[in-house]
Chain A
Amino acid sequence: MSTMSQKNTEEKRNAREQMLAERAAQEAKAKRLRKLGVIGTVLAVLVVAVVVGILVMNNRTTPYTASQAPAGTIGANNLAIPVGATNAPSTLTVYEDPRCSACGYYEKTFHTTVNQLLSQGKVQVHYHVVSFIDSHDQGSGSKNAANALGCAQNVGKFHPYHDVLYANQPVESDDAWANRATLISLAKQVPGLDTPAFESCVNDNHFGPWVTAVETDFDKSGYTSTPTILLNGTSAYPSYNGTDISPAELIAAVDAANKGKPLGTLTPAQSAALAG
């Protein structure tokens, strides 16, 4: 009897241990499953976030077609603003940001010379109005000013307005042109520019998609700073073919490049569109 009871107790203990072990195994399995579920959820959240993100960002980019550019623009997708004689023997390509102080310095030093070269039919200038300072220094002045320059180009008054803006450029850290009224009041210095149509063009950011397209084109160009000045495709600023360039040397370089070629002839409209 006593052995019987001992055996019973032992069996009970074994059964209990087995049950406990099974329960532990089940719990471990359930926890493993929970962990796998969590990992799956995490990966799903990440994938969904990235896919949705790419779609959202894509949706928020402004689609651009060349027909949205200001009148008279040229080049691939109408991203450049031409000034001067179309048949001028040399081309000066200029990438400038309205807020960039180095561009302000370049304009201060060279604009008289460039305007002279333009009126003589020696060069045509292709302006690319870029606008990356806004994302560097925060603000919206570059984009506002680039749009306003597009508005001026649309009515054939880009160049004089361009010179007015650079002559009145705020220091780079001062985002004065975030206020579009400032750009409109500067337009009063260009005879005939400040019209209701121009004001609404400036205030409605009418050429915004074009401004973004010009900047993206510059981003992809590989040029990393402004001003970037090219004379017939060769970098001409701050040095040309290894020597620092001054206004006199720019004239000499243009004359050398133009040697033996006829000067360009400006149409009356092209003449009228020149600054100063």
Chain B
Amino acid sequence: MSAHQAVDRQTDTAAHPPAWRSDRVLDWVGTAVRAALVVVWAWAGLAKISDPEAAAQAVRVYRLLPESLVKPVGYGLPFLELAIALLLLVGLGTRITAFLSAVLLMVYMGGIASVWARGIAINCGCFGGGGAVAASQTQYWQDLLRDTGFLLLSAWLLWRPASKLSLDRWLAAD
């Protein structure tokens, strides 16, 4: 009797292909992950564009780049972040955008780890602000932990870029 039931259940599952059902769910998960990263990158970008001098200073205090590169990088990064947000919003080239998102996050985490290791006290300037702070005001491990979370979101899309409500799906290019 119980063996019979087991067989029945198998047949039942086969009638509704689980692959179809989980694909649908995972596609919506992809959409949610995209939305979360859109918020992160749009917020990060918008917070930096109001004050060019502050944007440059946020880069300068990492003491990683020569002065000649401080302004181009400080001015360009917010717009790179906004472009990533835009691409994720429309869902175009989700995998390569997720790759760039992950690379950018790893660059940021490397920068934060580097200032931490060198004993420089700064605000990471991740969401605007930036600049030197008192040594007691640094939040490096919180910054790194948060960025790790964002990195995991990017990794999801890198692994499975397919999602609902995306241009990739509409163009059948995913």
Would you give the 0/1 interface string for A206-246, flagging 1 where the beta carbon is closer than 8 Å to chain B? 00000010011001100011000000000000000000000
Contact at A49–B82, with CB atoms within 8 Å?
yes
Q: Check A224–B61 contact: CB distance below 8 A.
A: yes
| A135 and B80 contacting across the interface, CB-CB below 8 Å | no
B110 on the A face (CB < 8 A): no
Which residues of chain A in 38-54 are interfacial with respect to chain B, using CB atoms and an 8 Å cutoff? 38-39, 41-43, 45-46, 48-54
Verify B78–A219 contact, CB threshold 8 A. no
Interface centre among A34, A54, A58, A215 (most CB of B within 10 A): A54
A6: chain B residues at CB < 8 Å are none
Contact with B along A250-276 (1 / 0, CB 8 A): 000000000000000000000000000
The answer to whether A52 and B79 touch (CB under 8 A), given A31-B172, A35-B173, A136-B129, is: yes
Q: Contact: A54 with B76, CB < 8 Å?
A: yes
By a CB distance below 8 angstroms, the chain B residues around A248 are none
A–B pairs, 13, beta carbons within 8 Å: A34-B171, A53-B76, A54-B76, A57-B74, A58-B71, A61-B52, A135-B129, A136-B131, A212-B53, A216-B53, A219-B53, A219-B60, A224-B61
B57 x A219 contact (CB < 8 A): yes
In residues 63-115 of chain A, which contact B (Cβ within 8 Å)?
Answer: none
Shortest distance between the CB of A121 and any CB in chain B (Å): 35
Instruction: Let me know if B158 is at the binding interface, CB within 8 A.
Output: no
Known A-B contacts A39-B93, A42-B97, A136-B133; A49 and B79 likewise in contact (beta carbons under 8 Å): yes
Whether the pair A54, B75 counts as a contact (CB closer than 8 A) is yes
Bound-complex Cα distance A223 to B123 (A):
15
Q: Apart from A46-B83, A53-B76, list 20 A-B contacts with CB within 8 A.
A: A35-B173, A37-B173, A42-B87, A42-B92, A45-B83, A49-B80, A49-B83, A49-B86, A51-B76, A54-B75, A54-B79, A56-B75, A57-B55, A57-B75, A58-B71, A61-B52, A135-B130, A136-B129, A136-B131, A220-B60
How many angstroms between the C-alpha atoms of A83 and B6 in the bound complex? 93
Secondary structure at chain B's binding surface: helix, strand, loop or mixed?
helix
In the complex, whether B113 has a CB less than 8 A from a CB of chain A is no
Known interface pairs A38-B92, A39-B96; A136-B123 also in contact (CB < 8 Å):
yes
**CB neighbours of A215 from chain B (8 A):** 53
Binding site for A on B (CB under 8 A): 49, 51-57, 60-61, 67, 71-72, 74-76, 78-80, 82-84, 86-87, 92-93, 96-97, 100, 121, 123, 128-134, 168, 171-173
A contacts with B, residue count (CB < 8 A): 33
A177 CB–B CB distance under 8 Å: no
Of A43, A212, A224, the most chain B CB neighbours within 10 A belong to: A224
| CA gap between A46 and B128 in the complex, in Å | 21
A127 within 8 A of B: no
Which residues of A sit under 8 angstroms from B54, Cβ to Cβ? 135
Cα separation A65 to B173 with both chains bound (whole Å): 53
Chain A residues closer than 8 Å to B100, beta-carbon distance: 46
Specify which chain A residues have a CB less than 8 angstroms from the CB of B133 in the assembled complex: 136
Which residues on the A side are within 8 Å of B128 (C-beta)? 135
Q: Closest chain B residue to A212 by CB distance?
A: B53
Smallest Cβ distance from B137 to chain A, in angstroms? 9
A41–B96 Cα distance when bound, in Å, is: 11
A132 part of interface (Cβ distance < 8 Å): yes
Instruction: Determine the residue in chain A with the shortest Cβ distance to B173.
Output: A34
Q: Which residues of A contact B132 (CB under 8 A)?
A: 224-225
Contacts of A41 in B (CB 8 A): 92-93
